Structure 1
Amino acid sequence: MLRFTFFFKKWYYCSAASAPTLDLINFSILKMKRFFLFGFGLVSAAINAQDTIAYSVNSEIVDFKSPEVETYKILDAFEGSKYDSISQKYNHEGIMVTEKTFNWDAKKERRVYQGIHKHWYDSGKPFYTENYKDGKLDGNLVAYHENGKIRRKDRFKNGKLTNGHVWDEEGNELEHFPHFKRANFPGGKDALIAYLRNNIRLPEYIKTGETHKVLVKFTLDTEGKVAQYKILESPEDRFYTLETLRVLDAMPAWEPTELFGKQVNTFLTIPVVFRKG
């Protein structure tokens, strides 16, 4: 008998503009011809003040002198501030594109979004601002088109939308739609679990009660296809890694993540546990 263990956790998806949190099943695959390390969002709760991290266009951590550097972030402690830390992201031209503030949540034992987060287009023009309280949207979310005209105004309370308006680039009001839509496997989480259960095979030599885990991570692209993969953890026996990759590589396309109605890339991770008996 093959059993799967899935963990649902907060994860940060990466786009050119923002990274709201997701509660998702998270997946990844490693393609033999491409291998990238992803590291968007908070790198570590224990990172020191004034630490700076450089990323390539593929979000691989690189040296600042590398010609591949596309963006980087600075995490800085606020002495005497109501916030514990700040995260700033810049594009390759040195223009700040995101600024976020965080506080430490002792119960959850991790940093959570707190206060006003600001986002800019790569041109440096304002994109949108959003307000967080204890990790949840709370207050106003205001977005602008790149021509400077208002794009949307949403009001949130404890993570829930209470009212909102959306406008096009000419100032015409549109039918309201969610500012963020998470990626979805066709048929939902149950269908995803069923797909894996029905397609992943156990090796003939696995013993009853024996357990093996493969932790995989990938980018879900704007077409909902799995791309740019990395194995984070796997047994010495390559069977489990290769079998996981075989099945995930054939996985049907997802409905991609959308931000302000535009499809964006998503980073996802999942541990798959093989167990007999």
Structure 2
Amino acid sequence: MRKHLLLLSLGLSSIATQAQEYTGSSTTTTAKYFNKQGDIQPTAEGASYSEETELKEGNAATVRTFYISGKPRSVIFYEDLARHMVHGISEGWHENGNLSWHSEMQHGKPSGPYRNHYPSGQLHYEQNYADGKRQGELVVYYPDGRLKRREIYADNQRVNGTCYNPQGQEMPCYEFEVMPSFPGGQQALLQYIGQNTRYPGKALRRGVEGKVFVKFVVDTTGVVSNVRIDKGVDPLLDTEAVHVVKNLPRFEPGRQDGRPVPVYFTVPITFSINKSSLFRQKPRAGNQPASGL
């Protein structure tokens, strides 16, 4: 099918929590099991943790995770689960029971302090947000409690900061958080997906359209892993979207406090048929479906 018959758009956003697709209203609770990589397991055998989603009126939900030992792992409150909109105070725990992290959100935006703790209970770092932007002080500590970094932010921009080595001496600072980067930047990522996505012929003939949300992880080596559908449209479109994301080239990995860290992403890919073009030109025989941005 000719290139001009298709429209494909993509947006990219990082996320820090795991949510299940939900449409409609309910007050039921569903449970799932996951391995260490975040893949869904059919049973508790071989799983690292379980997840219980309590669906409430509207799209609100409470998502709780538990270690296989039964100890609580995290609790996240959603104002709108389908839109991944977290609201209120959410927390996570190490398996030894010590607090792992504390987050405060207002209608999907960070608002208030975010704290991260070492398994020992020692504070690792704390940063403050206002309306989704870093505001005020960011402090980072070594595992023994010694100050590692202190920075001041205004409107999400770093105003000043000082970093310290384990001996307490000042040293050059590096960015505290660095998101994974695709070779050539985000525009190159858009082009890659646009050039490598093929509209399934059966879906095209059936007039199937929609936006597929694909969730994946860029691991500590920059490799794309744990690719799965977060919100699907049709098996044909879902399969194609997953195929393209699974074959993305290696990213430059994300970093936090100088260490490579895995980062979750959601990619919404919109499959849309330009129906008016179907009546202006006929596709050339044998031409494969292509995509454009």
TM value normalised by structure 1: 0.71
Matched, 1:228 2:226: yes
Residue 100 of structure 1 and its aligned partner are, at CA, apart by: 2.5
Which of 90, 113, 118 is the aligned partner of 2:115?
118
Question: Within 1, Cα distance between the matches of 2:147 and 2:195?
Answer: 48
Q: How does 1:60-99 map to 2 (within 5 A)?
A: 66-67=68-69, 71-73=73-75, 85-99=88-102
**RCO higher in 1 or 2 (8 Å CA, sep ≥ 6)?**
1
Structure 2: how far apart are the matches of 1:162 and 1:241? 44
Could you tell me how far 1:210 is from its partner in structure 2?
Answer: 5.5
Shift of 1:172: 3.0
Whether 2:52 is the aligned partner of 1:54: answer no
Equivalent in 171, 174, 177 of residue 174 of structure 1: 171
Write the deviation string for residues 21-72 of structure 1: whole angstroms up to 9, x where unpaired: xxxxxxxxxxxxx833998xxx999657xx571245xxxxxxxxx4376722
Matched, 1:101 2:98: no
Preserved contact between residue 12 and residue 265 of structure 2 (Cα < 8 Å): no
Say whether 1:127 aligns with 2:138: no
The answer to whether structure 1 residue 218 and structure 2 residue 216 are counterparts is: yes
1:245 aligns with one of 242, 246, 252: 242
- Residue identity in the other structure for 1:5: S
Alpha-carbon offset, residue 75 of structure 1:
5.3
Instruction: Name the % identity.
Output: 24
Q: Is the 8 A contact 1:207 1:276 kept in 2?
A: no
Check whether the contact 1:147–1:169 (CA below 8 A) recurs between aligned residues.
Answer: no
How does 1:27-42 map onto structure 2 within 5 Å? 35-36=39-40
Give 1:232 deviation, angstroms: 2.4
Gaps of 5+ in 2: 18-37, 42-49, 79-86, 275-293
Residues paired across the two proteins, number:
230
Matched, 1:197 2:194: yes
Paired letter, 1:229: V
Structure 1 pair 124/273, CA: closer, same or farther in 2 (3 Å)?
Answer: same
Match of 2:183 in 1: 186
Taking structure 2 as the reference length, what is the TM-score of the superposition? 0.68
Distance 1:68 1:272 in 2: 37
Give the corresponding residue for 1:136.
133
Q: Which amino acid aligns with 2:65?
A: A
What corresponds to 1:30 in structure 2? Answer: none
Give 2:251's aligned residue. 254
Deviations 1:114-153 (A, max 9, x none): 2233221111111111122222111111110012211101
CA distance in 1, matches of 2:63, 2:270: 35
1:166–1:88: structure 2 CA closer, same or farther, 3 Å change rule? Answer: same
SS of 2:237's equivalent in the other structure is helix
Measured after TM superposition, the shift of residue 248 of structure 1 is: 1.9
Q: Residue 68 and residue 200 in structure 1: after superposition, are their counterparts in 2 closer, same or farther (change >3 A)?
A: farther
Q: Output the amino acid matched with 2:180.
A: A
Alignment partner, residue 143 of structure 2 = 146
Q: 1:112 to 1:247 in 2, by over 3 A?
A: closer
Measured at CA, do residues 46 and 153 of structure 1 come closer, stay the same or move farther in structure 2, by a change above 3 Å?
farther
RMSD between superposed Cα atoms in Å: 3.2
Are the counterparts in 2 of residues 100 and 117 from structure 1 also a CA contact under 8 Å?
yes
CA contact (8 A) 2:12 2:268 kept: no
Counterpart of 1:195, as a letter, is: Y
